[in-house]
Structure 1
Amino acid sequence: MAEARLYFDWNAGAPMRKAARTRLVELLDRPGNGSSVHAEGRAARAVLEGARRSVARLCGAEAKGVTFCSGGTEGANTVLTPDWTLFGKPYRLDRLLVSAVEHPAVARGGRFPAERVEVVPVDGDGVVDLAFLERRLAELAAVGERALVSVMMANNETGVVEPVADVARLARVHGALVHSDVVQAAGKVPIDMEALGLDVVTLSAHKLGGGQGVGAIVRGRNGFAFPPLVTGGGQESWARAGTENVAAIAAFGVAADAALADLPAMAEVAARRDRIAAMIRDVAPDAVMFAEGAPRLSNTLCFAVPGVAAETAVIAFDLAGVALSSGSACSSGKVTASPVLTAMGIEPMLVKSGLRVSIGAETSDEEIDAFGLRARNVFAAMKKQHGTTAA
C-alpha cells in the first residue's frame, strides 16, 4: 500500500476547513442574488453581511470597511492606486514605497506608474529597513509629496513578521498612508488594524481554510477610500462590481471565524516547525535556515541545503510523497530563484537551493516523523546522484 502523502505547503493554500466546506455546499443549492429585493435575494444579502462581519472581526475592523473581491492579488491591485479620496474628496498620492520582499501582486506596483514605485530594502533576515524608510518619507514630505507605503505583515516564503506598527508610526509622522498584505498573517497572528495603525489590508480566503478565488479588502475607520478596479454595477457598495459569489464568501466567513478562534493554537505549531528544522539539520548538517533571527510565523520554515537545487528537491520530495515548495506558489507552476532571498543578500547559490516547508495546526506529530524519514531518503539519494554535501 502506498504511503499517505504529506501536505507541507499550507502557505500556498491551506486545506479547506470542514465547516467552511459544509457551508459552501449548503449554499450552492440556494438561489438568490444578493442585489435582488425578493426574499431569496434578501437571504443571500444576509449571508454576505454575516460573512462581512466575520472578516471584519478577524482584522479588528468594522464590517462596513470590508469589500469582497477575488483574492489578495485583486485586492492589492485595487488599493495600490494614486487616486485615493478622504471623506469623498480627492486625495492624490505621489509615490508608492514597497518593501523588497513583497509578493509580486504588490511588488509590481498596482496602478502606480512604474517610475513612481520605490523599493525599501530589508536586512539579512528580511526585516524592512525602518531607518531607510524614515529617511525616504522625510525626503518626500520635504518636497510636498504624499506616499503610500506597502509592507506585508508576514512573508509568504520566510514567515518573517514585519514591524508594520512601526511602519505605520513612521508613516503618520510624515503624512503617508499604509497598506499591508496580510494574506499570510491572517489566522496565524492577531490583526488589529486600528492598534497597528493600518489604513487598509488585503487578504485571501484560501490561506486560512476557505475556498480559492475569494478575498477581501478591509479599510480602516479614517475615511480614506479609493476607486474600484472592477467597475460596472453597484455591488459591494460600488466598491467592486460583479455579482458576489455568495457560497464562497459564506465559506470565507466561516473560515475567518474558525481561524480567529484557533489563533491560540498557532503558538504550539512553532515547536513542530522547530522539530522539522532539527530533522533537516540531522540529515543535512550543512543546511542553512533563513531568518532565524527574526520573528516568524510559527508554521513556516525556509531553508537551503548547499548544492541541492530547489527544482530538483521539490520534484524529489513530490515523488517521495511530500508536497513542499520553493518560494511563492504564484509563478505559473515554475520553480524560480527567490527574489525574497535575493533581497535579503543571500548568496546566489543558496538562493537557488531555497525551499519552504509550511504546516498548519492540524499537522500531526506522526506526519512530522514521516517527513523526517522521507527527507533523509531524499537527501541521501540526491547526494549519491549528484555528489552534494547533503548527508
Structure 2
Amino acid sequence: MTPPDRRTVYLDHAATTPMLPSAIEAMTYHLTRTGNASSLHGSGRCARRTVEEARESLAASLGAQPSEIVFTSGGTEADNLALKGLWWSRLAADPRRRRILLSGIEHHAVLDPAIWLARHEGAEIEWLTVDELGRVSPDDVREAVEREPESVSFVTLMMANNEVGTLQPVADVAAIAREHGIPVHTDAVQAIGQVPVDFAELGVDAMTVSAHKLGGPYGVGALVVHKETQLTPILHGGGQERDVRSGTLDVPATAAFAVAAEHAVKHQADEALRLTELRDLLVAGITGTIEGALLSGDPVDRLPNNAHLSFSDCEGDSLLLLLDARGIEVSTGSACNAGVAEPSHVLLAMGYDDQRARGSLRFTLGHTSTRADIDAVLEAIGPVVDRAKSAGLQNVGRNT
C-alpha cells in the first residue's frame, strides 16, 4: 500500500476514472431523495422525472434520441444485451442468420457472450483479423459479409481498443453492413469523452456506454439502440426500459451518469488536446531513454489518453508492481484480466510474440492527470526497467 504521505500518480483511467465533482454533487443530492421511478405517487413521479431528464441529457450528449437510451447496470450488461438480444431476435426472424462477425481484440464483455452463444446456441463465430496496429480492415468485413449476407446475424466492433487505444473504422463497417440490412453493435466505452462520438452519424444499431469510464459512478451504463432495431430481452420482470431491460432504475446513479457524460462531451476537444500533449511527452520520454521500449497500436489514430508500451526482457506484472511501490499506478492491459498470468489476447491477435505481449504496460491519462504525473513516471521508469530486467534474468537462471 502506498504510504499516506506519498502522492499517488494515477495513470489507469481506462480502468476507471475518478468521479467528476459535478457528478458527485448530482448523485449525492438524489441519494437524499426517495422514490421508485415506476411508482405512481408523487415521490415516484419525481424519480421518473429525474430519470427522463437524465435520458434526454445523455441522448443529447451521444447524438441519439431519448427513446434510444436503455439504461443498464454498466458496460458488461449492455454488451450482453446487445449480443444476445440481437442474436435471438435475428434468429427468430430467419434461422439462417447464425454467423457473428467480430474481431479478436474485443473486450471480454463482448468476446465471452459471443463464445457463449457459440457453445450454447449454435452461433458460428467468424473472427475478423486485425493488422499489427490493431485495426480491422473494412475490406475484410465486406468480404465476410458479401460471401453470404443472409447468414450473418450481426457485426460487433469496438470503437476504440481498451488496451492499445487504436480507433476502429466503425462508420465504414456500419455502412457496409447497412447495404445488406445487417445490424452493427459497437462498444464505445473507451471512446466517449475521448473522441467525438455521434450515434446517428455512426450509423450503428447499438452502442455500449459506461458511466465510470467518463467521470460518472460505478454500476450504471447504457445501451443506445436504434429505434427500429429489435432486441430480445435477457432480463424479465417489471418491464422497465420499454420492456428491453427490466429492473428498478438507480435514480441517483442515472442522474450522475448524465451529468458526467455532458461534461465529458462538452470538454472533449480541449481535453483531447491537453491529454495528447501529455501522452506524447510520456511516449517520447520512455522510448527515447529505454532501449527496446516500443509504442503499441496506431501512432496517430488512437485515443488521446492512451500510451501502451512494450519493454523487452521484462514482465509487465513486475513493472507494474515496481511502479506501484513508487506510488505510480498503471495497468498491464484490461483490468478485467488483472492477476491472470497469460499474455494479452489483444496483443497476440496483433501478431506480437509471447514475450512482447507479456512485457507491456498501459498508461492511460484522464481529467486529473498533470505534467507532474508524467515527470514522475519518467524519473522512475529507468530504474524500474533495470530492476525488472535483473529479476527476469535471475528467474531464467533458476529455471535452467
- TM-score scaled by length of structure 1: 0.93
| Pair 1:335–1:16, CA change in 2 (3 A) | farther
Instruction: Measure, in 2, the Cα distance between the counterparts of 1:50 and 1:191.
Output: 21
Instruction: Measure, in 2, the Cα distance between the counterparts of 1:71 and 1:229.
Output: 15
1:147 is displaced (CA, Å) by 2.9
Q: 2:134 aligns with which of 126, 140, 148?
A: 126
Instruction: Measure, in 2, the Cα distance between the counterparts of 1:55 and 1:337.
Output: 36
Find the residue that maps to 1:326 and give its secondary structure. Answer: coil
| Residue identity opposite 2:6 in structure 1 | E
User: 5+ unaligned residues in a row in structure 2: which ranges?
Assistant: 395-400
1:83 is displaced (CA, Å) by 2.3
Instruction: Measure, in 2, the Cα distance between the counterparts of 1:149 and 1:267.
Output: 32
Residue pairs, 1:110-259, within 5 angstroms: 110=114, 112-114=117-119, 115-141=123-149, 144-221=150-227, 223-259=228-264
Counterpart for residue 96 of structure 1: 100
| Pair 1:146–1:379, CA change in 2 (3 A) | closer
Instruction: Measure, in 2, the Cα distance between the counterparts of 1:386 and 1:98.
Output: 36
Residues 313, 389 of structure 2: 8 Å contact kept: no
Counterpart for residue 13 of structure 2: 10
Instruction: Measure, in 2, the Cα distance between the counterparts of 1:198 and 1:180.
Output: 7
| Residue identity opposite 1:129 in structure 2 | S
Instruction: Measure, in 1, the Cα distance between the counterparts of 2:288 and 2:140.
Output: 39
Write out per-residue CA displacement over residues 245-270 of structure 1, whole angstroms, 9 at most, x where no aligned residue.
11111110110111111111213311
Write out per-residue CA displacement over residues 303-362 of structure 1, whole angstroms, 9 at most, x where no aligned residue.
111011011111111111111001111125435311000000012110011210000133
Residue pairs, 1:39-78, within 5 angstroms: 39-78=42-81
Residues 149, 177 of structure 1: 8 Å contact kept: yes
Instruction: Measure, in 1, the Cα distance between the counterparts of 2:199 and 2:78.
Output: 16
| Pair 1:359–1:267, CA change in 2 (3 A) | same
Residues 326, 335 of structure 1: 8 Å contact kept: no
Instruction: Measure, in 2, the Cα distance between the counterparts of 1:297 and 1:250.
Output: 27
Find the residue that maps to 2:148 and give its secondary structure. Answer: helix
Larger mean CA deviation between 324-333 and 270-279 belongs to: 324-333
Instruction: Measure, in 1, the Cα distance between the counterparts of 2:338 and 2:290.
Output: 30
| Residue identity opposite 2:155 in structure 1 | V
| Residue identity opposite 2:105 in structure 1 | V
Residues 315, 392 of structure 2: 8 Å contact kept: no
| Residue identity opposite 1:108 in structure 2 | D
Instruction: Measure, in 2, the Cα distance between the counterparts of 1:37 and 1:85.
Output: 35
Residues 127, 294 of structure 1: 8 Å contact kept: no
Find the residue that maps to 1:379 and give its secondary structure. Answer: helix
Residues 125, 294 of structure 1: 8 Å contact kept: no
| Residue identity opposite 2:31 in structure 1 | L
| Residue identity opposite 1:256 in structure 2 | A
| Residue identity opposite 2:340 in structure 1 | K
| Pair 1:268–1:335, CA change in 2 (3 A) | farther
Residues 310, 353 of structure 1: 8 Å contact kept: yes
Write out per-residue CA displacement over residues 43-79 of structure 1, whole angstroms, 9 at most, x where no aligned residue.
1001111111122122210010111111111111111
Instruction: Measure, in 2, the Cα distance between the counterparts of 1:230 and 1:98.
Output: 24
| Residue identity opposite 1:259 in structure 2 | A
User: 5+ unaligned residues in a row in structure 1: which ranges?
Assistant: none
Counterpart for residue 344 of structure 1: 350
Counterpart for residue 397 of structure 2: none
Residues 310, 335 of structure 1: 8 Å contact kept: no
1:91 is displaced (CA, Å) by 6.4
Counterpart for residue 398 of structure 2: none
Report which of the two has the higher share of helix: 2
| Pair 1:22–1:333, CA change in 2 (3 A) | farther
Instruction: Measure, in 2, the Cα distance between the counterparts of 1:303 and 1:373.
Output: 16
Instruction: Measure, in 2, the Cα distance between the counterparts of 1:233 and 1:160.
Output: 40
| Aligned residues between the structures | 383
Instruction: Measure, in 1, the Cα distance between the counterparts of 2:145 and 2:98.
Output: 12
Matched, 1:367 2:373: yes
Find the residue that maps to 1:98 and give its secondary structure. Answer: strand
Instruction: Measure, in 2, the Cα distance between the counterparts of 1:235 and 1:91.
Output: 28
Larger mean CA deviation between 373-382 and 188-197 belongs to: 373-382
Find the residue that maps to 2:89 and give its secondary structure. Answer: strand
Residues 180, 201 of structure 1: 8 Å contact kept: yes
Instruction: Measure, in 2, the Cα distance between the counterparts of 1:207 and 1:283.
Output: 31
Residues 19, 216 of structure 2: 8 Å contact kept: yes
Instruction: Measure, in 2, the Cα distance between the counterparts of 1:279 and 1:335.
Output: 28
Instruction: Measure, in 2, the Cα distance between the counterparts of 1:134 and 1:84.
Output: 23
Instruction: Measure, in 1, the Cα distance between the counterparts of 2:171 and 2:231.
Output: 22
Instruction: Measure, in 2, the Cα distance between the counterparts of 1:58 and 1:91.
Output: 35
Counterpart for residue 308 of structure 2: 302
Residues 20, 251 of structure 1: 8 Å contact kept: yes
Find the residue that maps to 2:59 and give its secondary structure. Answer: helix
1:387 is displaced (CA, Å) by 5.0
Residues 286, 305 of structure 1: 8 Å contact kept: yes
Write out per-residue CA displacement over residues 100-126 of structure 1, whole angstroms, 9 at most, x where no aligned residue.
110011112446334422211100100
- TM-score scaled by length of structure 2: 0.91
Find the residue that maps to 1:112 and give its secondary structure. Answer: helix
Instruction: Measure, in 1, the Cα distance between the counterparts of 2:152 and 2:125.
Output: 13
Could you tell me the percent identity over the aligned residues? 36
Q: 1:38 aligns with which of 22, 37, 41?
A: 41
